[in-house]
Amino acid sequence: MANTKSAPNYKVIAENRRARYDYAIEDDIECGIMLHGSEVKSMRQGGANIAESYASVEDGELWLINSYIAPYLQAKTWGHEERRKRKLLVSKKELARLWSDTQRKGMTLVPLVMYFNHRGMAKLKIGIAKGKKNHDKRATEAKRDWSRQKQRLLRHGE
C-alpha cells in the first residue's frame, strides 16, 4: 500500500473511526473477505458499515461478525443477507497467532478499515487490540485537545 495515491482502484469503503478511541491497537493485519457478487456491487456503491462489527476465530477459521453491507437493489432474487457472518482469509500462521492473542493474552480483533486494494480486491484491515479503560480514553482526548490548541496558537501567533 505504499503507492495508494497512484493506484486507480484503491478505494476506502468503510472505516471504524471509533476503534482507535476505544482500543489500544498493538498490531494490524490485512486479510481478504469471502463475498457474494451482490455484496461486492453494493460495496462499490459505498454501502457498508463495520462500526459495530468484530472478528473472531471459530473452529480454526477467522470470521467477521455483525458487519453490514447494504442490499443491492438490482439483485432481487440473488441478493444477500445484510448482517451475515463473512469468512476472512488469512494464512495458517497468522490464524494461529490471532488465536493465541485472543485466547491467551485476552486481546480483541477489531476491524479498522474495509477497502478495495490496487488490484480491485476487497480487503479488511484488522487490529489486534486491548480495550482501553475510561481514564485512558480521557488521557487520549486531553492529548488530542492540547495538540489542536497548540496548532491554533502556532497558527495565530498568540
| pTM for the model | 0.79
| pLDDT at residue 3, rounded to an integer | 57
Residue % of the chain over a pLDDT of 70: 95
Grid coordinates in use for 71?
Answer: 442490499
pLDDT at 31: 95
Please, which pLDDT band fits residue 116 given cuts at 50, 70 and 90? very high
List alpha helices for 48-133, DSSP H: 92-103
Q: Quick check: helix, strand or coil at residue 76?
A: coil
What is the pLDDT at residue 88?
94
Dihedral of CA 30/112/23/50: which sign?
negative
Biggest CA-to-CA distance, the chain: 64
**Other CB atoms within 10 Å distance of the CB of residue 46:** 11
Distance of CA 153 to the CA centre of its chain: 34
